[in-house]
Chains A and B, each alone.
Chain A
Amino acid sequence: MTIAYDQSIAGDAETGRASTIERHIAQEKARARRKRMTNRLLAAGFGMFVLFLWWLFSALGLIHRLIIPPPGEVLSAFFRVASASYFWPNVMVTLSEIAAGFALGLASGVVFGVSVAMFESVRATIYPYLVALQAPPKIVLAPIFVTWFGFDEASKIAMAVVMSFFPMFLNTLTGLASVEPNAVKLMRSLTASRWQTFRYLLLPNALPTMMAGVKLCWTLAVLGVVVGEFVGASAGIGYLIHAFNFQLDISGVFVLILLLSIFTLVVYQLIENLEKKIIFWSGM
């Protein structure tokens, strides 16, 4: 500020002030940028450090390579696994199971959530059972599903659906219910129908909560498929992990875990980007 007044004495007051403001904004931006940079460097540095420790401990023979294989071995295992003829068919099996399970879990969660929220009779009839069904850990269903639906995709998809259904259902329900009473009053005063109230108020109002549900739904769909494949499968990434583990190919297991994590994270990020576009108003 002092600089601004000094300048204004020297020349045109308005221009001096404007340029001071501009400089101030530029400084603020630079500061924020530096801070972001520092934070990123910190995170990257820590990652490198852990990687280094991993390498060091392996090189010194402090960790047995059957427990945690050295980084170099994992890297070479990646090329070995990725170029194997069995790799892509198995990956495709898992990806299609995840996609189907996620889509079905999401869709059924939304349909049931909307029905229970919008229709009193549906709520009275099925809500207590849906809550009760949520109680047992869903993983116990995996062996039964293999019995019911077989060793192929169906049992894995079923597992992904039961895992991902509940968060989507509950978040849809909560989102639709958490509406400001005054907004409902406004809609009523405008003689809005139930459908109009849903379309203009309840649904958009529920979207932030529903998008949080979608993200949960996604990670649980992946989990459901892998669990299903562990329990009984003839193909898929979970099946491969199981097989590699039995062959004591730990670096191969590491490669598959890393690939699955990266895939899950990438899609998660895509959902988050979509979320920012859909609920654009929350960032304003």
Chain B
Amino acid sequence: MPDLEELKSEVVNSQIWRSIFRGGLWSDTPRDRANHMIGNVWLHIQPAKVRKRALEWTYTWGLGGISFFLFLVLVASGVLLMFYYRPVPGLAFRDIKDLTYAVTLGKFLRNIHRWAAQAMVLIVILHMLRVFLTGGYKRPREFNWCVGVILLTLTLFLSFTGYLLPWDQLALWAVTVGTNMAGATPFLGNAGPFGASLMHMQMNNDIRFVLLGGTTVGANTLVRFYVLHCVAVPLLLGVLIILHFWRVRKDGFSAAPYGDVTEPKLDTWPNLIKREYIAAAACLLVLMVWALLVNAPLDVIANPHATPNPEKAPWYFVGLQEMLVYFDPWIAGVMVPNLIIVGLMAIPFIDPSPKGVGRYAFKERPFANTMFLMGIIMWFCFIFMGEFCRGPNFVWYWPWQSWLMQKPAPPPTWNLFGPTGVGKFPLALGLPALGLPVLAIMFLPKLIQKNLSLAKAALACFAGFVVVAFALRYGAHVPLSQGAWIVFFGTFISFFGVLIPQRHIRGLDWARYLVTMVLVVCTMGLLVKICARLAFNIKYLVTIPSVFLNV
């Protein structure tokens, strides 16, 4: 019997093996290691050598690779689940039940599919955050950042389409709400501005009708979402992932900033590949333990006549659900998400600073990092509000309050400017009253070309709003509790909306400055409206019902 080494060498040098794998006998030379990367179709998307800094865990945290690994896990588990699933109302729910209780490994596969999907959403968001903080979107990587934003959007869309497939209550109502948001699209939806009036949109010819394949969530909807979830979107996502990877190669890994070519390089095999395997293995271990310990939820079968109370979206959409409480659907459900996507894609083009590429550099890019982190934290605050502070009838319950506690009927809301509002003339009164502060936030930062002390200016704003609060208390009998809201939101908005931009981007050219400030003003607008509703019970700041303008 030949010894093992001899056998291995015989196999590796056989004609069959050599016809599959290129290269000669492995002798672990740098040339071998490079050839191994170049000669393997799966490995050659990665360079033969990488910079040492790119290998540090604390630089990438492995987030991009983990996202991709989760995608592979989702494809594998998803394809297996498809063998037992029929996308027909009634059967679909029964098949999920069978998968859970009758099919060998079915429950585990469903669990791992569900938890990997949840993890992928989180990891992709964190990956975006990491790329932002290390300046990875800057020249020449603008385009790849945009591809990444589309990948994030598609990840969320895959989650959304997958949500309908179990055909339980959660599924039905999440999709009812989601598709009704599409129905609120301006021009293209029957309930959106100018939809019915200008474009003759009805229940049976608008964009919602296309999504549903009918006028309500039904059998056609299930098939459409099934095809989108299992074929169309994963294909598109796969193509864009390839593009994303290819551009990472072509644009250069961000840990290697331009000009710094003296840095030593290491062999990708085994240095990077080893780390990738460790990350994937660790990730799989966590997923498997998670899937063994926690079962994917399954509500009762879909009932189109009764909505669970309260009905909550999956956690990553709860922030959006919370926004929908304050704004009309076409704003919160259509404009805000689209503005977020477009705003994210605009970032590389409105930030001309070449500083801070390839490292976490807060001091070099204070404005970009402050505003981006503020946005992310704000979004997670909305998620917290929706997830933990909303109870039956979507009424505000603090996390420590029992949902069994009956809340009194809410007081009727009122409008500030509009035909049914306090100020009767939305155009004559509402437009200047709301437009002037908007213009002030928009232009003040660039018009004050002076170095202000941030602390002193912030303190002055705070003092100003305290004075306003007391003036309202003694002038208009506005209670101090409401005054506190004004002080908090007023100071917050003047700090992040005016003072921070004034300090950092007043030197920016007008085009970039204005685009940046539009995004800043919109973000601050969200806060104004939330404050108006929560503290003052205002439904609309300004409403012109004839043209659906309700803000």
Are chains A and B native binding partners rather than an unrelated pairing? no
Q: Which residues of A contact B (CB under 8 A)?
A: none
